[in-house]
């Protein structure tokens, strides 16, 4: 099967940047230059997370190159040119502006390492891997994706920023792969959920990054990080979003020690963590898996719109739980505060935090006691256990709920 894409030369020795999806699974890669000369290329390395790849040709001469510019300096409204081979039309140039920056969800899909520049310059099939250049001819993005119902340009094109590409390119050329740092935690990628969690913990809305889950045996766990800790700084730099945290950690050298400031139960402390290899420490995200149990709990109406039940010895055995502690969510009312927050049947509530008040939930009565203390309009954090459908492993995380 033949696949067509675009790339551009970034080193006179013949190194070419393009998209991962252009060369993925290719058995033979051919490159045609502007002078119509053709060369078989060697794949140097590819990174699916950023959708970038580097190939190399042996032209026997120094090749002209495009300079990679500083994508951080790009402003919304800046004029840009998109260059590529849409529908096999070589060296087509279209123009437009930067429509937006920092787009992280394209067509409903999210990738932690992709934060796109959006442009209305026409980008079509065949443009993938081509340069998006500014008015001084510097590459500030690599054309990667479009949103269109017809697969033709609808004015919604997306380019990976050049600053991201530079980091990936350097690693691919040096080692043929991209290695990223990791510490083994999970956190919310939803700014609204983050703000609610911060308020529930009695902190200001932009308090930092709330740790939802700590991978057992990972660098964070070994250092003493707990679920519920709020990361506010790393090596003195303020951390206010998950993307900022990921950028610092992922770009840190494996084996390096970082100093992480956390807020735990209203008290700040600094914890040293040794960076690990992200691929080795990251855990699979939990997915919901409920038992075949039709018991609808005690039947009492909850402020949150849920019903809970005690965990029986049969459930402990069936669900492979360590104990009967917690309140099992047996049903969630449609359009309730709980449903809106993402609470699902099959979760187990183990802790409730409402500002300065903290409740350990070992029984249904413990949960009811915590619920009686909840006030209308208050943001409350629930620590819940949820089972991974693939591994049957139970993991804890926080869910923020606004009390109606």
Question: Active site residue: 46, 99, 128, 196, which one?
Answer: 128
Tokens describing residue 18: 């393009």
Residue in 20, 47, 51, 153 annotated catalytic: 51
User: CB-hemisphere CA count at 13 Å for 245?
Assistant: 24
Q: What are phi and psi of 322, to 5 degrees?
A: -80, -25
Largest CA distance in the chain: 79
Annotated catalytic residue, options 21, 85, 196, 229: 21
- Output the CA–CA distances (angstroms, integers) from residue 351 to 33, 275, 286, 368, 370, in the order listed: 62, 30, 18, 12, 9
Residue pair 159/127 in contact by the 8 Å Cβ criterion: no
Report angle CA 234, 238, 243 to the nearest 5 degrees.
80
- The DSSP letter of residue 302 is P
Q: Which whole-number Å values give the CA distances from 340 to 94, 333, 343, in the listed order?
A: 43, 10, 8
Residue with the two structure tokens 């992280």: 104
CA-closest candidate to residue 237, choices 270, 211, 191, 214:
270
Question: Are 396 and 227 within 8 A, CB to CB?
Answer: yes
Nearest Cα to 322, choosing from 282, 368, 362?
Answer: 362
Assess contact for 227 and 211: CB atoms under 8 A: yes
- Residue 21: active-site member: yes
Q: CA-to-CA distance for 32 and 39, rounded, in angstroms? A: 7
Report d(CA 112, CA 356) in Å as an integer.
33
Mark whether 20 is an active-site residue.
no
3-class state of residue 73 by DSSP = helix
| Sole residue written with tokens 């800046």 | 78
Kindly list the catalytic residues.
21, 51, 128
């Amino acid at each position: 099967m033949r696949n067509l894409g675009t790339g551009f030369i970034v080193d006179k020795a013949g190194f070419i940047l393009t998209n991962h999806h252009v060369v993925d699974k290719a058995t033979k890669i051919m490159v045609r230059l502007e002078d119509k000369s053709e060369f078989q290329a060697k794949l140097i390395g590819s990174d699916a997370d950023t959708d970038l790849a580097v190939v190399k040709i042996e032209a026997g001469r120094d090749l002209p190159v495009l300079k990679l510019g500083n994508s951080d300096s790009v402003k919304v409204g800046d004029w840009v040119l998109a260059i590529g081979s849409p529908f096999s039309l070589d060296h087509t140039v279209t123009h437009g502006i930067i429509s937006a920056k920092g787009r992280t969800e394209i067509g409903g899909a999210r990738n932690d390492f992709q934060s796109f520049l959006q442009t209305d310059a026409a980008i079509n099939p065949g443009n993938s891997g081509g340069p998006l250049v500014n008015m001084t001819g510097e590459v500030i993005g690599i054309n990667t994706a479009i949103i269109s119902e017809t697969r033709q340009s609808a004015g919604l094109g997306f380019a990976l920023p050049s600053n991201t590409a530079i980091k990936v390119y350097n690693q691919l050329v040096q080692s043929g792969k991209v290695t990223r740092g990791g510490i083994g935690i999970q956190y919310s990628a939803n700014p609204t959920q983050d703000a609610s969690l911060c308020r529930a913990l009695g902190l200001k809305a932009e308090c930092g990054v709330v740790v939802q889950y700590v991978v057992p045996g990972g660098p964070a766990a070994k250092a003493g990080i707990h679920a519920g800790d709020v990361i506010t700084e790393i090596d003195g730099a303020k951390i206010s979003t998950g993307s900022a945290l990921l950028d610092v950690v992922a770009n840190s050298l494996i084996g390096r020690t970082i100093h992480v400031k956390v807020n735990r139960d209203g008290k700040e402390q600094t914890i040293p963590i040794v960076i690990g290899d992200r691929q080795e420490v990251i855990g699979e995200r939990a997915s919901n898996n409920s038992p075949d149990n039709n018991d609808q709990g005690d039947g009492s109406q909850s402020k949150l719109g849920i019903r809970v039940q005690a965990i029986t010895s049969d459930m402990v055995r069936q669900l492979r739980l360590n104990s009967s502690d917690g309140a099992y969510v047996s049903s969630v009312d449609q359009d309730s505060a709980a449903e809106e927050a993402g609470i699902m049947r099959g979760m187990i509530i183990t802790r409730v935090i409402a500002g300065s008040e903290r409740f350990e939930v070992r029984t249904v009565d413990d949960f009811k006691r915590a619920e009686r203390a909840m006030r209308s309009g208050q943001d409350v954090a629930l620590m819940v256990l949820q089972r991974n459908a693939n591994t049957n492993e139970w993991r804890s995380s926080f869910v923020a709920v606004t009390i109606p």
